[in-house]
Structure 1
Amino acid sequence: MTARLLRIAGRVQGVGYRDWLVREARRHGISGWVRNRADGTVEALLAGEEDGLNAVLTACRRGPPLAQVTRIEEQFAEPPAEPGFTRRPSL
């Protein structure tokens, strides 16, 4: 299992990005979480098999219809302790 911590910037809050990412992650069997940050970015921990993870990472660059992703910072991370993909409270 591979895991990545993402910081997604652009018009990503108030456009349904988190709910969209929950659906995308679950559809591809990805574990982790997503949350808004006070600085206007979205942060997500994604963990899973390489194929599913790559599919979700590619989708994150596009985002849902109303989003405009301008930058994604990505780093390796430890997989989450619990299975499933959840929406966490904003930071």
Structure 2
Amino acid sequence: MAGPGREVRARVYGNVQGVGFRIWARDEAISLCLAGWIRNEADGSVTTRIAGLDEAVSTMIERLWKGPSGALVSRVDVEELAPGNTFAEFRIVA
């Protein structure tokens, strides 16, 4: 990762399961050259950890507010983490 890096954990709430949110987010993250993971939570939310260039991470956070067609995002909570990108790719985890 060249340049200033940023790492965040984001939790996305609303109608975000059963609408292809994780696949959509993975594809968006890959297009932005981000690394990390995304998973469904038992409460119906989705959690993602995103690492990469600051501008790309910011763009991904903006995109999380929209999601794929069929999603209805009501809230996105973002927690800044100390950059320590140990992820080689962006993947969907169970």
Q: TM-score, normalised by structure 1?
A: 0.93
1:26 to 24, 30, 33: 30
- Answer whether contact 2:52 2:85 (CA < 8 A) is retained: no
1:43 and 2:54 matched: no
Larger radius of gyration: 2
Amino acid aligned to 2:33? G
Displacement after TM superposition at 1:14 (Å): 0.2
Equivalent residue number for residue 88 of structure 1: 93
Aligned identity (percent) is 30
Displacement after TM superposition at 1:57 (Å): 0.8
RMSD of aligned Cα (Å): 1.0
2-structure distance, mates of 1:15, 1:7 = 16
1-structure distance, mates of 2:16, 2:33 = 23
Q: Partner of 1:39: helix, strand, or coil?
A: coil
Q: TM-score, normalised by structure 2?
A: 0.90
Equivalent residue number for residue 8 of structure 1: 12
> For each residue in 1:26-48, what CA deviation from the matched residue of structure 2 results, as whole angstroms up to 9, or x when unmatched?
00001100000001000000111
Structure 2: gaps spanning 5 or more residues: none
Displacement after TM superposition at 1:82 (Å): 2.4
2-structure distance, mates of 1:28, 1:20 = 13
Equivalent residue number for residue 52 of structure 1: 56
Displacement after TM superposition at 1:80 (Å): 4.1
Structure 1: gaps spanning 5 or more residues: none
Equivalent residue number for residue 65 of structure 2: 61
Displacement after TM superposition at 1:3 (Å): 0.5
Instruction: Number of aligned residue pairs: give it.
Output: 89
Deviating beyond 6 angstroms after TM superposition, the runs of 4 or more aligned structure 1 residues are: none
